[in-house]
Chains A and B, each alone.
Chain A
Amino acid sequence: KQEVTQIPAALSVPEGENLVLNCSFTDSAIYNLQWFRQDPGKGLTSLLLIQSSQREQTSGRLNASLDKSSGRSTLYIAASQPGDSATYLCAAGGFKTIFGAGTRLFVKA
């Protein structure tokens, strides 16, 4: 049974700081790993998708890596901004997409 864990559960950083969010999964038989952003009371917005055969993906200030052998993915956010404040969720894609509990990020101006 796939289990996805995200660390830390919450994070508060000053504006401009670079930060790393961590995601681990127990079953390496995934076909992709996605990172999402969720604002309060809203749906999820897909940020990055890494297929199981890939190692990383980049979009603007965001970079996500995937290491299937160790069951880990990281989301790197460069030069954080107050607008980045949200909950970030990772999801292990398979027959059933399994989500982590998320990391709540607050970026202070």
Chain B
Amino acid sequence: KAGVTQTPRYLIKTRGQQVTLSCSPISGHRSVSWYQQTPGQGLQFLFEYFSETQRNKGNFPGRFSGRQFSNSRSEMNVSTLELGDSALYLCASSPYRDSDEKLFFGSGTQLSVL
């Protein structure tokens, strides 16, 4: 069974640009959540999608958005990039996000904003 796939692996952008990251969950998993990881703030929750609906959202500005498609694949978009958006962006999937389900993470997208 294929794991969680994130593309691209690396991205370099300049301030003011926008970026779209993609996440394909494990087959059969309907919950996809996104996290930002930086050396200073650690891992922070961005949002979670289930069956194309955003169920939970972290404390990030509106420049960060996401969506989920009918096949459970998810994308996140960051508009008007800032230097501080440089981070490793991770997505995780689970079947339903129930209490007995582990989270399975992708390898992440390393975003550098210049």
Partners in one complex: yes
The prevalent SS among residues of A at the interface is: strand
Residues of B within 8 A of A95 (CB): 55-56
Q: How far apart are B46's CB and chain A's nearest CB, in angstroms?
A: 10
Residues of B within 8 A of A100 (CB): 42
- The docked-state distance in angstroms from the alpha carbon of A49 to that of B100 is 7
- The docked-state distance in angstroms from the alpha carbon of A10 to that of B45 is 23
Q: Return 16 A-B CB contacts under 8 Å, by A number.
A: A31-B99, A32-B100, A34-B103, A43-B6, A44-B92, A46-B102, A96-B48, A96-B58, A97-B33, A97-B45, A97-B103, A99-B42, A99-B43, A100-B42, A101-B42, A102-B42
Report how many residues on chain B are interfacial, defined by Cβ distance under 8 Å. Answer: 26
Counting contact residues on chain A (CB < 8 A from B), the size range is: 20 to 34
Partner of B99, one of A41, A52, A89, A99: A52
Residues of B within 8 A of A (CB): 4, 6, 33, 35, 42-45, 48, 55-56, 58, 88, 90, 92, 99-108, 110
The prevalent SS among residues of B at the interface is: strand
Are the CB atoms of A43 and B42 closer together than 8 Å?
A: no
Are the CB atoms of B110 and A49 closer together than 8 Å?
A: no
Residues of A within 8 A of B103 (CB): 34, 44, 46, 91, 97
